[in-house]
């Protein structure tokens, strides 16, 4: 049965993560896979999450099945965190999923059932898994122009392409902290996005994996909240991997906003069926940690303070790193890094320079030049900046 099966395509980000682990050189620097790192280079369990876990260990009386769409308290807590009061609960169907990846997968499955001919439009560039999974599912896809080579939003091209997307197609937008570029629409751009989509009737699918990593929890959700308020339909895929540090435990949620309660009821039955067909019940433990943290004012405040510290650290690293690159290269070539958002930026480097950084200096970037900014430390910034300056002379 298995003889002649072609090898599966590898995930380039995960392949690089494993290559880094296998590199025995001291002083190697991991700026590859998107995992938040603190000033020690560690990714500790967040303290509010650990307390919720201790509380759960002591008080949980059963691990019996919940529901096919997971714990409703988790969905409710995340709905409030992401959407605030932008959309009332009676418009929203939900499905708990294994991570944000699971939410995206279920969103694509839902689109295939409800609108089999709908093309899903992705930003150019986007997180590679978007295209990989849509291709695997044989869904029609196209890309829209998004990032200009200078590291800013290619505003005119973006809006021109957005306006050309027909009614019934789906537009995938990163809610904040665009992966891989760190380039986000400004608040007034979100207003324009909403205007265009309400004219064309294309439906937004928001991928939200970094709420709180950009400007703040509320600020990072303002754009998608505006869309939820303005448009009749929307899909929202939420990941708790970065925001609660729950990576391997897999907490995610798909929210589907419908135009009315009757549509919502049907949608809910479809999402329930999709979960049953895929895995029956989503993982519960990590989602319960999230709802425990968000329901307890003391734990919530502690979590927010931790998230703020993470965001502030990334901002400071961006400033320090950019200043060092400006000094060493005597150019403003890397200045955009300072104003980009979230964990990632894409360095304007040739593939040859990216290879040299890895092979000659043990500095790991993704092949397109994407770097995980949080992988830097005060100690490594001078060395990394010097290596980059050397490769670009
Ligand atoms: N979307 C984007 C843009 C991401 O960077 C990630 C990775 O963290 C995800 C979705 C989903 O992550 P996970 O499946 O680990 O929750
Ligand atoms: O972009 C990243 O590095 C993170 C982590 O298949 C990730 O989003 C990478 C690849 C993957 C799942 C998560």
Tell me if the bond preceding 180 is cis, omega within 30° of 0. yes
Residue ranges matching CATH 3.90.1150.10 in the chain: 12-44+300-392
State residue 200's pLDDT score.
98
pLDDT in tens, 324-339: 999 999 999 999 999 9
Annotation says 135 is catalytic: no
What residues form DSSP beta bridges with 30? 364
The ipTM assigned to this model is 0.98
Residue of 32, 99, 212 to test ligand 1 pocket, by largest number of atoms within 8 Å of CB:
99
State residue 142's pLDDT score.
98
Tell whether ligand 1 has an atom less than 6 A from the beta carbon of residue 34: yes
User: Are the beta carbons of 227 and 202 closer than 8 angstroms?
Assistant: no
H or E, element range at 258? none
Q: Supply the angle between the helices 285-295 and 297-329 in degrees, to the nearest 10.
A: 100
Inform me whether the pLDDT recorded for 316 exceeds 90: yes
- CA–centroid distance, 344 to ligand 1, in Å, is 13
Residue 93: DSSP 8-state: E
Q: pTM for this structure?
A: 0.97
C-alpha 145/C-alpha 47 separation (Å) is: 40
Residue ranges matching CATH 3.40.640.10 in the chain: 65-295
65-295: which CATH topology? 3.40.640
Chosen CATH of 12-44+300-392 out of 3.90.550.10, 3.90.1150.10, 1.20.1630.10, 3.40.50.1360: 3.90.1150.10
Per annotation, catalytic residue among 48, 154, 228, 242: 242
- Tokens 């040859």 appear where? 352
CA angle, 256 then 104 then 302, to 5°:
80
Residue of 239, 242, 342, 370 to test ligand 1 pocket, by largest number of atoms within 8 Å of CB:
239
C-alpha 97/C-alpha 69 separation (Å) is: 8
For 173, residues 6+ apart whose C-beta sits below 8 A from its C-beta are 123, 193, 204, 205, 206, 207, 224
- CA–centroid distance, 100 to ligand 1, in Å, is 5
CA angle, 175 then 176 then 182, to 5°:
135
Inform me whether the pLDDT recorded for 3 exceeds 80: yes
The widest CA-to-CA distance across the chain, in whole angstroms, is 63
pLDDT in tens, 90-131: 999 999 999 999 999 999 999 999 999 999 999 999 999 999
H or E, element range at 249? none
Strand locations in 209-257 (E): 234-239, 252-257
Annotation says 121 is catalytic: no
Q: What is the dihedral of CA 74, 75, 76, 81, to 10 degrees?
A: 90
- Tokens 């900046």 appear where? 385
């Amino acid at each position: 049965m298995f003889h002649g099966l072609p090898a599966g395509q590898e995930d380039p980000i995960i392949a690089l993560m494993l290559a880094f682990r296998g590199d025995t050189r001291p002083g190697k620097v991991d700026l590859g896979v998107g995992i938040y790192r603190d000033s020690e280079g560690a990714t500790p369990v967040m303290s509010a999450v650990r307390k919720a876990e201790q509380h759960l260990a002591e008080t949980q009386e059963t691990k019996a099945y919940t529901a096919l769409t997971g714990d409703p308290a988790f969905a409710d807590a995340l709905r409030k965190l992401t959407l605030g009061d932008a959309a009332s609960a009676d418009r929203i169907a939900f499905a708990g999923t294994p991570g944000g990846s699971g939410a995206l997968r279920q969103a694509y499955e839902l689109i295939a059932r409800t609108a089999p001919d709908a093309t899903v439009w992705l930003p150019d560039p986007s997180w590679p898994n978007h295209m990989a999974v849509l291709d695997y599912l044989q869904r029609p896809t196209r890309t829209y122009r998004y990032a200009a080579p200078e590291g800013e939003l290619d505003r005119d091209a973006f809006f021109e392409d957005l306006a050309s997307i027909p009614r019934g197609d789906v537009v995938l937008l990163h809610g904040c902290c665009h992966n891989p570029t760190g380039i986000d629409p400004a608040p007034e751009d979100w207003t324009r996005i909403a205007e265009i989509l309400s004219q064309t009737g294309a439906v937004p699918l928001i991928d939200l994996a970094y709420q709180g990593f950009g400007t703040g929890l509320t600020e990072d959700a303002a754009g998608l909240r505006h869309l939820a308020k303005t448009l009749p339909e929307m899909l929202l895929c939420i990941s708790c991997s970065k925001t609660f540090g729950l990576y391997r435990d897999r907490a995610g949620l798909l929210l589907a906003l419908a135009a009315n309660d009757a549509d919502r009821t049907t949608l809910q039955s479809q999402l329930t069926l999709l979960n049953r067909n895929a895995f029956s019940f989503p993982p519960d433990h990590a989602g319960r940690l999230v709802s425990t943290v968000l329901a307890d004012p003391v734990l919530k405040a502690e979590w927010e303070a931790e998230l703020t510290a993470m965001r502030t650290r990334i901002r400071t690293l961006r400033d320090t790193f950019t200043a060092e690159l400006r000094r060493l290269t005597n150019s403003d070539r890397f200045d955009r890094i300072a104003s980009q958002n979230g964990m990632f930026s894409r360095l304007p480097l040739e593939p040859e320079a990216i290879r040299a950084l890895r092979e000659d200096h043990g500095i790991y970037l993704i092949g397109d030049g994407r770097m995980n900014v949080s992988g830097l430390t005060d100690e490594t910034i001078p060395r990394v900046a010097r290596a980059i300056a050397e490769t670009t002379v």
